[in-house]
Amino acid sequence: MRTILLRIAYNGARYHGYQVQANAKTVAGTFQPVLEQVLNEKVQLKGCSRTDTGVHASDFGVSFQTNSTISHRGLIQGLNINLPPDIAAKSCEDREEGFHARYSCTGKRYVYRVRDSGVRSPFEQDLVLLHKYPLDAALLDAAAQGFVGRYDFSAFCSAGGSVEDRVRTIYSFQVARRGELVEFSVIGDGFLYNMVRIMVGTLLDMARGKLPCAPEAVQSVLLSKNRNRAGATAPAHGLYLDKVYYEPIETQ
């Protein structure tokens, strides 16, 4: 039996997250029937993460076991012929027995995109957050360095998360301007429920003057472990799971 890792991408605007739900349209609920049709067998699909409603993925890992002898190229082509336009299979590879898309993951990179020109683009509907006022990317980048390191991120976790151990390592957090967009890019060994959206929301609140904009202010919130000390949760539609690591993590 083969163990296969598939990398997919999706626009999450029409989906209630990745994980299968009984009464909602999800990425896994849409993807798995197509995969089983192409393989001509039932599979147990393992996802690398549980993205929320409206969140996107540029790189999302799924793994499964199969008796099929289909080639990598044949699998990718078969999937992309039958998948809806907002989900695409990017690549696949055979992995060792016991490989798991979630538990074999060494880390992830998320990117949050904000348009701060004050003028919306019809080509970015549900894909970026529109911010009314210009952002100082360099100032926010300096403040974001307060997140880097190994900490208890309880202050940056929404209620409803079931994980008891809230200690995570952030390897890098960069804020940079890309034309009319400002991108928040964070790499870590794992993330709590809504953690990235709260970190970005906190930096945006700093930009609005609601919180001091400095790494020391971030550190103060972190050490408090108090969710009420952090900023708002940024909307889902600006967030992308940008890369899933199964090898040593690149921090640059």
CA-CA-CA-CA torsion sign (218, 223, 229, 233): positive
Count the Cβ atoms, other than its own, within 10 Å of residue 232. 14
Interacting residues of 35 by C-beta distance below 8 A, sequence separation 6+: 6, 43, 45, 64, 79
Beta pairing partners, 108? 188, 244
**Burial zone of 248 (CB within 10 Å; 0-12 exposed, 13-18 middle, 19+ buried):** exposed
Count the Cβ atoms, other than its own, within 10 Å of residue 97. 8
Q: Nearest to residue 150, comparing CAs of 184, 195, 190? A: 190
Q: Which of 52, 59, 116, 242 is catalytic?
A: 52
Buried b (16+ CB within 10 A) or exposed e, 128-157: bbbbeeebbbeebbebbbbbbeebebbbbb
Provide the token pair at 181. Answer: 């967009």
Provide the token pair at 202. Answer: 């906190």
Alpha carbon distance 233, 202 (integer Å): 8
Tell me the residue type at 164: E
Alpha carbon distance 214, 194 (integer Å): 22
Provide the token pair at 226. Answer: 């108090």
Provide the token pair at 96. Answer: 């060792």
Active site residue 52: yes
Active site residues per annotation: 52
